[in-house]
Structure 1
């Protein structure tokens, strides 16, 4: 099977040059209605060219009505062959609300005003659902066993990252700290049935570790959002992990899983806190040895020794497909970044062609 992740930039800020107000959550809905938007057609073509069996889409605005959201994308774009590519269908999908743009009662960004918008939302966003997620699958999803961690309180994580002012005092008062949610969007544990084997897809999109102040609140949140999955797959059961359905603990020992998403952290470059993504890459239950690469990425930054591993146009490896050591053999993998001499380079030639991120994929075989 082929499993992929792709930050598709299908959120309203991406359409700011149109007449649509980028703060309005219906911007994506309008563009999904007729199958004619060039950027979305290119995204669909990239998916059709790579043909993953399971794919997580980050930055796909949350649209409560699937008929106008994920189903419209499948119907009007993926099921329509794009420029010679074969249509692709996903009979199973999962979509749910995220924290971005949902007003909180707190002054989260520390500007002295609890405004309830953008920086003071549970996750940064100009409207509810901005930067949402969608999971598409050719295989059946066990919907009754999905676990969401959208509402998990950050302070319940033992030894959470410190958020301090330059004088060493706490950045947040006790009331705010007790109320903060950890996940900037959400964390999903989605069980998928593949040939009578259950595979847990662990999907998330931690906040960028920048756009804050000297207190580094976003760097701390990025680190601990990544840690949530590291705790979830550890053997101690992580008792602080209580999902939105009330179930306690992490993933039972020995289960197959694949971690997917844009984690906004690189092992070698960028601004994340030291060791952030290593919590997953070096986890004893994770096979982080295979590093997807591309010729296009290497050519994009020829003097950068990490360029072939980059998954974003802005030169970093931040998007991951990380399978469990148990239950899988990695057969192949890559980053969809065609070289400038390829006829498919048009799909990623500039920011507006598709996204500032690249689709990352692994081909896996089930093992005992």
Structure 2
């Protein structure tokens, strides 16, 4: 029997709320203590603007990328909700999220290896399991107006890159040797942060939020280790959604094998750090999801502000990052949804709300992206 349709707005937003974003002139490296300190009060202008953007769009479910992982929610996500989202910002109505999900990530988690080949296994920066100067930097959190089934969340923080059949193992082009030796390759985790499958109960109907934040495909060298990792981090979701013969290597952190079930709703969310077009700095890896048969890519969110960046480029309206690229995505399943609309929060220069995105320090170098979806019955 068909269930009653429910309309909801789902968003992703790289909020740049990590310690490096708030470095003072005297600091040489980001500090884990920075974000908890800023969240103790309600007066940081950049975080207030981020809260206002969320209040203006009012998503029902939103993934925040680059929100440092803070194990004590009272000092992290709950403080952000209480001191910023629950407070009206510049005439915008306060918003509340009674449910959230957060978990550890690989960024800043020390490894014993010299992954960047600088002669020192520092355990930090590029020598961590995922680039970061302290554990939890560049983390992520999901906020929801609807209950989250935390007991059945699947995380893939520990999945080894080498376990993926046909993984793009980097090579040093100068020598032809593998960039990571056999010991490193067998140990290296695929996800630079983590991959999460989060079940959310929306008025009795289930949807799965598939959340991730693949590494940027830059900041490396001719070996392209970050570019190849970005590709395979995105490929993990493509395999997860595909037929069973591509599932066998996928084992979650609880030891449960297998990919995503049939006839379930999902929404892929996150800063994927990949544009649809193949360029000098982009592999087009996101096309693995944009062209996936289970993904509805029929609607591209756009903005007036992005279009202003390059008036001669019809694709500019889809930009989600200040460096003129589409990097952030909300991609629903073909099954169980109708797309009603959506957009990118990037007001044009003549819009009074442009102040919220006028500079990187106003809010973030990324823009919030959202879709409004109508949940429909799943075919049996």
Partner residue of 1:127? Answer: 134
Please state if 1:196 is matched with 2:204.
Answer: yes
Question: Tell me, what secondary structure is at the counterpart of 1:297?
Answer: helix
Q: Which one of the candidate residues 294, 300, 304 is aligned to 2:313?
A: 304
Deviations 1:203-252 (A, max 9, x none): 00000000111111000100000001111111226111111111101111
- For the Cα contact (< 8 Å) 2:277–2:283, is it kept in 1? no
> TM-score, normalised to structure 1's length?
0.97
- For the Cα contact (< 8 Å) 2:10–2:372, is it kept in 1? yes
User: Aligned equivalents of 1:129 and 1:293: distance in 2?
Assistant: 31
CA, structure 1 residues 351+364, in 2 after alignment: closer, same or farther (shift >3 Å)? same
Partner residue of 1:233? Answer: 241
- For the Cα contact (< 8 Å) 1:209–1:264, is it kept in 2? yes
Please state if 1:364 is matched with 2:354.
Answer: no
Q: Which one of the candidate residues 103, 108, 117 is aligned to 1:110?
A: 117
Residue 112 of structure 1 deviates from its aligned partner by 2.9
- For the Cα contact (< 8 Å) 2:274–2:284, is it kept in 1? no
Instruction: Map residues 96-175 of structure 1 onto 2, 5 A cutoff.
Output: 96-166=103-173, 167-175=175-183
Partner residue of 1:210? Answer: 218
- For the Cα contact (< 8 Å) 1:240–1:248, is it kept in 2? yes
- For the Cα contact (< 8 Å) 1:288–1:322, is it kept in 2? yes
Partner residue of 1:342? Answer: 351
- For the Cα contact (< 8 Å) 2:330–2:370, is it kept in 1? yes
Partner residue of 2:185? Answer: 177
- For the Cα contact (< 8 Å) 1:209–1:271, is it kept in 2? no
Residue 269 of structure 1 deviates from its aligned partner by 5.6
Partner residue of 2:5? Answer: none
Q: Which one of the candidate residues 298, 306, 309 is aligned to 1:289?
A: 298
Q: Which one of the candidate residues 320, 327, 330 is aligned to 2:329?
A: 320
Please state if 1:267 is matched with 2:276.
Answer: yes
Partner residue of 1:278? Answer: 287
User: Aligned equivalents of 2:313 and 2:136: distance in 1?
Assistant: 36
Please state if 1:242 is matched with 2:246.
Answer: no
Question: Tell me, what secondary structure is at the counterpart of 1:352?
Answer: helix
Please state if 1:76 is matched with 2:83.
Answer: yes
Question: Tell me, what secondary structure is at the counterpart of 1:74?
Answer: helix
Residue 170 of structure 1 deviates from its aligned partner by 1.2
User: Aligned equivalents of 1:305 and 1:161: distance in 2?
Assistant: 33
After TM superposition, what 4+ stretches of structure 1 lie above 4 angstroms from structure 2?
Answer: 18-22, 269-273
- For the Cα contact (< 8 Å) 1:223–1:273, is it kept in 2? no
Deviations 1:267-290 (A, max 9, x none): 126555534100000000001121
Residue 53 of structure 1 deviates from its aligned partner by 0.1
- For the Cα contact (< 8 Å) 1:11–1:28, is it kept in 2? yes
- For the Cα contact (< 8 Å) 1:331–1:364, is it kept in 2? yes
Partner residue of 2:74? Answer: 67
CA, structure 1 residues 55+93, in 2 after alignment: closer, same or farther (shift >3 Å)? same
User: Aligned equivalents of 2:359 and 2:278: distance in 1?
Assistant: 22
Deviations 1:76-101 (A, max 9, x none): 00000001000000000001111011
Question: Tell me, what secondary structure is at the counterpart of 1:240?
Answer: coil
> Aligned residue pairs: how many?
368
Q: Which one of the candidate residues 260, 264, 267 is aligned to 1:255?
A: 264
Gaps of 5+ in 2: 1-7
Question: Tell me, what secondary structure is at the counterpart of 1:291?
Answer: coil
Question: Tell me, what secondary structure is at the counterpart of 2:169?
Answer: coil
> TM-score, normalised to structure 2's length?
0.94
Question: Tell me, what secondary structure is at the counterpart of 2:62?
Answer: strand
Gaps of 5+ in 1: none
